[in-house]
Amino acid sequence: MVILFDGRAVMCCQDMAREVIWGDVARDGIVKVWNGKVRRETIRRLYTGQTCKQDFLCARCEQALGPGAMVQSLLQSAWRKLKKHPPQTRAATY
Ligand code: SF4
């Protein structure tokens, strides 16, 4: 949770556009925002592995989907497929 200059609390420091606002700390206090339904529901979805909308902040985040993370994900996927369906080896015929 990141508290902005005006008291609004957003989910993450990557939320430059203030897309996921959890509440207003200046108006409601930090405990109420922290225990609020919006924050709890967001955390519940993230930690239970539920899919989110394609345009959800984390689904577009460069911190999560940077080049290194993308390559690692592709390699892990290819490795899983290879283990599940190993290539057939045949003797070369000439
Ligand atoms: S994935 Fe990106 S937007 Fe989502 S919590 Fe992590 S750093 Fe923030």
pLDDT at res. 14: 85
Distance between CA atoms of residues 86 and 94, nearest Å:
24
pLDDT at res. 65: 77
Q: Ligand 1 within 6 A of 64 CB?
A: yes
pLDDT at res. 72: 61
pTM above 0.75, yes or no: no
Q: Which of 63, 70, 73 to mutate to test the pocket of ligand 1 (most atoms within 8 A of CB)?
A: 63
- Buried b / exposed e over 6-43, threshold 16 CB at 10 Å, is eebbbbeebbeeeebebbbbeeeeeeebeebeebeebe
pLDDT at res. 73: 57
For ligand 1, what atom is nearest to the CA of residue 58?
4
Q: Which residues of the chain have pLDDT under 70?
A: 67-74, 77, 92-94
Q: Ligand 1 within 6 A of 58 CB?
A: yes
DSSP assigned state of 86: P
pLDDT at res. 85: 87
